[in-house]
Amino acid sequence: MTANFSQLKIEAEQEWSQLVNSSKAWIRIGSSMCGQAAGAFGTSVAISTQTSSRKLDVNIDQVGCIGLCYLEPIVDVLRPGSSSRVFFGNVSSESIDGILQYIETGKLLKDQVNIIGYLGEQEIDGLSSLRDLSGFNLQQRVALKNVGNIAPGNIQQYIANGGYQALNDSLELGKPDEIVKVMQESGLRGRGGAGFPTGLKWSFMVRSPGPVKYILANCEEGDPGAYNDKGILEGDPHMLLEGVLLAGYATGASNGVVFIRHGHDGPIDRTKEAISQAYSSGLLGKNILGFDFNFDIEISLTGDSYVAGEETALMESIEGKRAMPRFKPPFPAVSGLWEKPTTINNVKTLAYAPEIIKHGEGWYSSIGVNRSKGTVIICLNGDINKPGMYEVPFGLTLGDIIHEIGGGIPNGKSLKMLQTGGPLGGVLGKESLDMTLDLEEMSQAGAILGSGGIIVADEEKCAVDMTRILVAFCQFESCGKCFPCRLGMVNLLEIVERITRCEAREGDLDLMKDVGQNMQMGSLCAHGQLGFNPIRSAITYFEPDFISHIKDSKCPTGSCEKLVYLPKNTRALGEINRENQDKQYIPINNII
């Protein structure tokens, strides 16, 4: 289908205007994974049932997360005649009546509902603006600009809020090389972990000939504590699709693939729906928007493989093979998927492209600090009062993230550790709170920002045990293709487990350093090359914890002493034998 964008935009804006100026109340329910975990689907059913029984004629949409995951399920209401939305948090079946009474009467019964605040130009008596709320006021939403505002399953709402405008303008201009230039000058760097300049990566494939080229959107996202890629797909999948289309047009590509881990049904279903809508609207397929540009997008699912997130292993998985890294060269821009030129970007990276093209490189590069331009989406987890998914500008400090946005450590405890950048990242101490969100500064400190996950640990956690958990994950997820990683991860885990059990041998710390160096030099991909990172950083910032285990045979926090170990050759939990010290042991929480 060939579509005229001007007509699409007029129809979308009319539909949006009818929605926001309707005689019906508009109810939006946060239903991303955090909302689902807190009972959003049950809340949605209850609201539908009770509005029907009370004969309330309302519009109801399920939307993405506004970042305040600790307040889910979040429900917001736009009453007829109002220009401001009122947000309710931790909505339960008992509080729905208070929300519906607000719709009916305009009165807010604060004793019945948890009111977060309002958002809009019209002040609501007795409420503060959501923009004054800690955790929201420091956000600067670019990739997440529509998340929580529009229904992800409604392409009209995306278009009405500026969606696909950048694509249409680029096609009208007819200069794909200008897109690459804008992306280069914007300073956008990959958000998947390596931080490689996006525009430069796109330029590599421009020079590769061939009628068939691929753009791959990587949403494998296997880092524990990271969920922002999935958050984009659940809340605004068309932002990703437009980014893929812009990358495809800029590089001369013909096909796109969105790569998602199997079992993540929310992101998968909403992306499938968005792709179907884009085809129906003439935004995918032949002669897109009436221009000489053909592009197709499909979804490819991977199994539970952390290494599948590595770009060459990702391509192996799409081709139906085991997710194992390839040797390079050739690099993907020359010979990638099905031996065709290929560019792989993280979901977040591609989601920035529409706003950058729309507002210009100068606008984006004015945000951030040093070489770290723009914003970053932080997933804040662990011992923190306000866990959530926050998009903030580079340049804030880790202290801003933990205390101003995250609300500090629960129960009056103090911060001990931050684990950043996933299991291959670093373990930082509380002295890192003055560190700036800056890719180079964090790297110099022995940490990486990675996909944006930050796990917070309080004073009762042991750095050795934290390291054990990270190394156990990395060992389990090693694909086994190259022996420095396959054997090195096993050796590192055995040593760290020995230290955790206070059974360390003389020279164990030096031995781990030697193994880590060999892994760094000989491993095929970053999984092995960075495998020693968590140990190196943990020893740097928490050497006393290791020394206490090794020399004093004591865990300084007592947490390691509470671990129950199972002999590795045991077949049943009932066969635990703590006295048998000549066997290798594995903590039960690693296998249950």
Q: Which residues pair with 570 in a beta bridge?
A: none
What pLDDT shows up at residue 1? 53
Instruction: Using the predicted structure, report yes or no on whether residue 195 has a pLDDT greater than 90.
Output: no
CB 73 within 8 A of CB 90: yes
Annotate 330-396 with three-state secondary structure: CCCCCCCHHHCCEEEEEHHHHHHHHHHHHHCHHHHHCCEECCEECEEEEEEEECCCCCEEEEEEECE
Instruction: Write out pLDDT tens, residues 552-561.
Output: 999 999 888 7
- Strand 565-567 versus strand 388-393 pairing type: unpaired
Instruction: Using the predicted structure, report yes or no on whether residue 513 has a pLDDT greater than 60.
Output: yes
Instruction: Write out pLDDT tens, residues 209-236.
Output: 889 999 999 999 888 889 999 999 999 9
What pLDDT shows up at residue 302? 87
What pLDDT shows up at residue 14? 97
What pLDDT shows up at residue 223? 87
Instruction: Using the predicted structure, report yes or no on whether residue 568 has a pLDDT greater than 80.
Output: no
What pLDDT shows up at residue 93? 86
Crossing angle of helices 463-477 and 533-551, rounded to 10°: 130
Instruction: Write out pLDDT tens, residues 115-148.
Output: 999 999 999 988 999 999 888 999 999 999 999 9
Spatial distance between the Cα atoms of 230 and 32, rounded to a whole number of angstroms: 9
Mean pLDDT of 439-468: 92
What pLDDT shows up at residue 579? 46
Spatial distance between the Cα atoms of 346 and 561, rounded to a whole number of angstroms: 40
Instruction: Using the predicted structure, report yes or no on whether residue 354 has a pLDDT greater than 60.
Output: yes
Amino acid at 232: I
Instruction: Write out pLDDT tens, residues 391-435.
Output: 999 999 999 999 999 999 999 999 999 999 889 988 999 999 999
Mean pLDDT of 563-568: 60
Residue that is written with structure tokens 């011992």 in the block? 383
Spatial distance between the Cα atoms of 88 and 74, rounded to a whole number of angstroms: 6
What pLDDT shows up at residue 446? 83
Question: What is the pLDDT confidence band of residue 577, given thresholds at 50, 70 and 90?
Answer: very low
Comparing 136 with 355, which gets the higher pLDDT? 355
Domain boundaries, the chain: 18-132, 164-364, 375-458, 463-590
Mean pLDDT of 474-503: 94
Q: Does the domain at residues 463-590 carry the CATH identifier 1.20.1440.230?
A: yes
Report the largest interatomic distance among the alpha carbons of the chain, rounded to a whole angstrom: 77
Enter the DSSP assignment of 318: H
Report the candidate in 381, 538, 548 with the shortest Cα–Cα distance to residue 467: 538
What pLDDT shows up at residue 566? 54
Question: What is the pLDDT confidence band of residue 591, given thresholds at 50, 70 and 90?
Answer: very low
Spatial distance between the Cα atoms of 271 and 546, rounded to a whole number of angstroms: 46
What pLDDT shows up at residue 218? 95
Mean pLDDT of 365-370: 96
- Strand 375-382 versus strand 388-393 pairing type: antiparallel
To 5 degrees, how large is the angle CA 174–CA 179–CA 184? 160
Question: What is the pLDDT confidence band of residue 193, given thresholds at 50, 70 and 90?
Answer: confident
Phi, psi of 75, rounded to the nearest 5 degrees: -125, 135
Cβ neighbours for 151, distance < 8 A, ≥ 6 positions apart:
28, 61, 62, 63, 157
What pLDDT shows up at residue 586? 53
Instruction: Using the predicted structure, report yes or no on whether residue 508 has a pLDDT greater than 50.
Output: yes
What pLDDT shows up at residue 589? 47
Using a pLDDT cut of 70, give the percent of the chain over it.
95
What pLDDT shows up at residue 192? 81
Using a pLDDT cut of 90, give the percent of the chain over it.
85
Spatial distance between the Cα atoms of 475 and 535, rounded to a whole number of angstroms: 13
User: CA distances (Å), 317 to each of 259, 311, 340, in order?
Assistant: 9, 10, 15
Q: In what order do the strands lie in the sheet with 115-120?
A: 58-63, 25-30, 75-78, 84-88, 115-120
Helix (H, G, I), strand (E, B) or coil at 381: strand
What pLDDT shows up at residue 561? 76
Question: What is the pLDDT confidence band of residue 292, given thresholds at 50, 70 and 90?
Answer: very high
Spatial distance between the Cα atoms of 111 and 104, rounded to a whole number of angstroms: 17
Mean pLDDT of 380-392: 96
Spatial distance between the Cα atoms of 417 and 409, rounded to a whole number of angstroms: 11
Cβ neighbours for 512, distance < 8 A, ≥ 6 positions apart:
492, 495, 496, 532, 535
Instruction: Using the predicted structure, report yes or no on whether residue 313 has a pLDDT greater than 60.
Output: yes
3.40.640.10, 3.40.50.11540, 3.30.70.100, 1.10.3720.10: CATH of 164-364:
3.40.50.11540
Instruction: Using the predicted structure, report yes or no on whether residue 351 has a pLDDT greater than 50.
Output: yes
Instruction: Using the predicted structure, report yes or no on whether residue 338 has a pLDDT greater than 70.
Output: yes
Question: What is the pLDDT confidence band of residue 27, given thresholds at 50, 70 and 90?
Answer: very high
Reported CATH class of domain 375-458: alpha beta
What pLDDT shows up at residue 99? 96
Spatial distance between the Cα atoms of 518 and 536, rounded to a whole number of angstroms: 14
Q: Does the domain at residues 18-132 carry the CATH identifier 3.20.20.70?
A: no
Question: What is the pLDDT confidence band of residue 570, given thresholds at 50, 70 and 90?
Answer: very low
